[in-house]
Structure 1
Amino acid sequence: MSKKEFGDLNKRELVDLVYTMMTTDEEKSSELPPVEQVEAERSKLDNKAKFRRILKSTVSALLVVAAAAVLISMLFLPVIQVSGDSMKPTLSNGDIILLVKSKRFSTGELCCVSWQNKLLLKRVIGLPGDNIDIDENGNVYLNGKLLDEPYVTNKALGECDIDLPYTVPEGKLFVMGDQRETSVDSRSTAVGCVDYDQMVGRYLFRIWSAE
């Protein structure tokens, strides 16, 4: 082997060459390092190569999992942070919650609404065609029956400038915040009933509580 060819060998190839020379050429083996040292170096290089393969495989798997998680979150399970106190005591400012994208909602469910480039957390009170009435004490009547609202601690008429009783238009939902005194919601003409296309999703569970 020429000097140039010898210089082009990588570390593993050099070690293998030395090992071959030691085990096949007894005359030259006396001029080379002990066979145990060469074998140890070969084992060390094998372990490094194995570690690199495992590391590469692990990183690739983690990247795939992370990409899948981001995709699922964007398409099906959005994660958002609660802003404001309109849903107290159920949810507080800073809470991180998980939603599930849906176009089907029921009375009493928590929902996320897209409104003027903001995300609002509210509760579904009325569906299309439902009749809503609210008395001066904040009691809500749905289709003539008093709505049981254990999630509301302080009932109030709040910011309400719509004509009551109110019939929810087709294709829309009547939503309210649990903090009735301060929540700006479908009781106000500034917000009004929300269209189904504005619904980001239904509340699934709270991931982290700010309090």
Structure 2
Amino acid sequence: MNETKQEMNKIQEIKKVNKYSFKKDLIFLLLKILLIICVMFLIFSFVYGIARTNDISMKPAIKDSDLVLYYRLDKNFVSGDVVVFKKNNRIMMSRVVAVAGDQVDITKDGLMINGAVQISQDIYSDTTQFKDGTDFPLTVGQGQVFVLGDNRTVASDSRIYGCLNINDIKGKAIAVIRTRGI
């Protein structure tokens, strides 16, 4: 009888330890999940960003409703980079075609950077000026870039609102996530 009581006491102690261990493990798991969520929030608040395309200015490279992952910390833009920026309360994307010190002109021959006609195999329409847009030729100022959309006939870009200040650019596109038409 005495042995049976001792065995029962041992079983109860094991149950208490297991119950305590389960609660401890559950709390530890929840803390890990909370930490991961906080780290992801900080990363996507200060290092990376995600934007949804709401127009066809960059078609066919970036289509309407695609998600674009962009990197916020690199502000050294070069010709060819796709940048994400906010203009007129809209998130927009365009390709950098000229940087500080470059002279941009749009003539009947097309886009000219520093006197050389620019030919790109990914641009399917002519680059033309807009009637009430920017006056050409222009020189890109220090701390600015000149951007154009790939879909030149309908794109809202620097031909309308002039050069972009680098500080107004949210970041450089690093990945496109296609959300429809797959």
Under a length normalisation based on structure 1, what TM-score does the superposition of the two structures give?
A: 0.74
Change (3 A) 1:117 1:151: same
Matched, 1:172 2:144: yes
Give the aligned partner of residue 128 of structure 2.
157
Distance in structure 1 (CA, Å) of the matches to 2:145 and 2:51: 21
Matched, 1:140 2:111: yes
Q: Aligned partner of 2:62: which letter?
A: L
Q: Aligned partner of 1:182: which letter?
A: V
Structure 1: stretches of 5+ with no match in the other structure? 1-18, 24-34
Give the C-alpha shift of residue 142 in structure 1.
Answer: 1.1
Report the structure number with the largest CA radius of gyration: 1
Give the C-alpha shift of residue 41 in structure 1.
Answer: 4.9
Change (3 A) 1:64 1:123: same
Of 114, 127, 132, 2:86 maps to 114
Give the aligned partner of residue 83 of structure 1.
54
Give the aligned partner of residue 53 of structure 1.
24
Distance in structure 1 (CA, Å) of the matches to 2:94 and 2:35: 35
Give the C-alpha shift of residue 118 in structure 1.
Answer: 2.3
Cα pair 1:100 1:202 within 8 Å, conserved: yes
Distance in structure 1 (CA, Å) of the matches to 2:129 and 2:34: 49
Cα pair 2:106 2:129 within 8 Å, conserved: no
Cα pair 2:111 2:127 within 8 Å, conserved: no
Of 143, 146, 167, 1:197 maps to 167
Give the aligned partner of residue 179 of structure 2.
209
Give the aligned partner of residue 125 of structure 1.
97
Structure 2: stretches of 5+ with no match in the other structure? none
Distance in structure 1 (CA, Å) of the matches to 2:129 and 2:59: 15
Distance in structure 1 (CA, Å) of the matches to 2:5 and 2:12: 14
Q: State the identity %.
A: 24
- SS of the residue corresponding to residue 152 of structure 1 reads coil
- SS of the residue corresponding to residue 69 of structure 1 reads helix
Q: For residues 66-109 of structure 1, what are the alpha-carbon distances to aligned partners after superposition, in whole Å with 9 as ceiling and x for unaligned?
A: 10111111111111111211110010121112111122100111
Q: Which has the higher strand share?
A: 2
- SS of the residue corresponding to residue 187 of structure 1 reads helix
Give the C-alpha shift of residue 134 in structure 1.
Answer: 2.1
Distance in structure 1 (CA, Å) of the matches to 2:68 and 2:134: 31
Structure 1 runs, 4 residues or longer, greater than 4 Å off:
38-42
Distance in structure 2 (CA, Å) of the matches to 1:122 and 1:130: 17
Change (3 A) 1:155 1:55: farther
Distance in structure 1 (CA, Å) of the matches to 2:48 and 2:96: 19
- SS of the residue corresponding to residue 104 of structure 1 reads coil
Change (3 A) 1:42 1:164: same
- The aligned length equals 178
Give the aligned partner of residue 22 of structure 1.
5
Structure 1 residues 33-44: aligned runs within 5 Å? 35=7, 39-44=10-15
The structure with higher relative contact order (CA 8 Å, sep 6+) is: 2
